[in-house]
Amino acid sequence: MYLKDTSVKEGKSNMAESIEVSDVFPVTQKELYLAWLDSRKHGAFTGGGAVIDPAVGGKFTAWDGYIEGKTKELQPYKRIVQSWRTTNFPASSPDSELEVFFETVEGGTKITLRHSNIPTGQGQDYKQGWKDHYFTPMKEYFS
């Protein structure tokens, strides 16, 4: 099943940054994918409150409202695409785009985050943030 929200306009800026981070977790693709889209589990594995409508077109918040966005595409157990922004984005900046890929590998599931259209100067902060505030607590949660 492949779902896409075609109502979302894609805004790209020449001044934006892109990052990619990956890690492996000792769970199945299905478990990790479903946890990403579950308010309670997402909040539990990050340590910050999350409210997620897990449907295409559904809105979400994470990290107690610091992060917000909308789900644009779902490929069950394989890929999630979301518009994504934090309270640190300049008001004039468009939403960034987050692609979350799930791949079965030895030892569990590799998750790759491809985060694009990040406001200039913020890319490295978000790259480290994904590691510190997602991957590190996720390792503990899923172990």
Give the residue extent of every domain in the chain: 16-142
**Domain 16-142, what fold?**
Alpha-D-Glucose-1,6-Bisphosphate; Chain A, domain 4 (3.30.530)
* pLDDT of the residue at 70: 98
pTM of the prediction? 0.88
Hey, which bits of the chain come out as E strands?
3-4, 17-25, 51-52, 59-62, 67-75, 79-86, 96-105, 108-118
CA 74 to chain centre: 12
Amino acid at 46: T
Amino acid at 82: Q
Going from the C-alpha of 136 to that of each of 58, 64, 71, 121, 132, the distances in angstroms are 27, 18, 24, 24, 5
**Whether 28 contacts 96, CB under 8 Å:** no
Buried b (16+ CB within 10 A) or exposed e, 78-107: ebbbbbbbbeebeeebbbbbbbbbbeeeee
DSSP state of 135: I
Residues 6+ apart with CB under 8 A from 91: none
Under-50 pLDDT residues of the chain = 1-13
**Whether 74 contacts 80, CB under 8 Å:** yes
